[in-house]
Structures are given as structure tokens and as C-alpha cells.
Amino acid sequence: TAIPALGFVLWDAVALGYAPFEAGVDPLVNLAQQGSSVGAAVQLFALSAVATSTIGFILGLSDFFEDSIGKRMSGSDTKIYSYALTLLPPLAFALTYPEVFFKALDFAGIYGVCTLFGVIPPLMAWQ
């Protein structure tokens, strides 16, 4: 737990200390637009965050489908079908509606943050 905590503290120090403050502008956008190695590091960090969450999603959902399909099917094709069920519907949806990812991300962020910081702490305090 110390390594992620250290990474979080370092990330906050870089993001908050290096970016110039402009009202109404996201500091991460400012950092990403920097021409230096800091801009590249910010972009690499953002790409890593998306990639690792995608990998976790794919592995978890494909294992779920593999367990579900394995009960109804026999043979070695269950892994292929589970990955197809995991990857093909989102791929088809993304190719049909390419702009919906950012809208869904905004929606998930709004309700995730409200739940995480607005609902869970009062429920934890209320015994």
C-alpha cells in the first residue's frame, strides 16, 4: 500500500505544483499540452489508466462469460466465445457511436464521485 500511496502523492505534487493555474481550465489539460517530458508523462499516465482498467474489465467479464458458457457448453471453445461476447458488442457499439464513450465517462464520473464522496461517508457514519 505504500507504493500506490507514494505514486498518488507524487502525481498530486506534479499535477498541482507544475501546472499554471487558470480559472476554468483543467490543470491536467495544461500539463498534457506542455512540450516537455511532463506532458509526455501525463499522457503516458492517462493511457496507462485507461489500459489497465480495460484489461481488468476484459479479464473479469470474459471469466464470467466463460463460467456461464461452460455450464451450457462442453469443449475448448468456451474461451473463444467468452472473449467474443466480451469484446465484440462494445466494439460494434463504439464503431456505431464513437462519441458516446466520453459522454458515458462524464456520466460515470459524476455519479461515481457523488456516490463515493456524498453517499458512502454519511452511510459509514450512520450506524
- Nearest-angstrom CA–CA distance, 37 and 91: 33
How confident is the model over 91-110, as pLDDT tens digits?
A: 998 899 888 877 887 777 77
How confident is the model over 63-92, as pLDDT tens digits?
A: 998 888 877 776 677 888 889 999 999 899
- Nearest-angstrom CA–CA distance, 127 and 123: 7
Contact present, 65 and 81 (Cβ < 8 Å): yes
Amino acid found at 16? L
Residue 87 is predicted with a pLDDT of: 92
Please report the sign of the dihedral spanned by the C-alpha atoms of residue 76, residue 82, residue 87, residue 88.
positive
Residue 21 is predicted with a pLDDT of: 65
* 4 Cβ neighbours under 8 A, 6+ residues apart: none
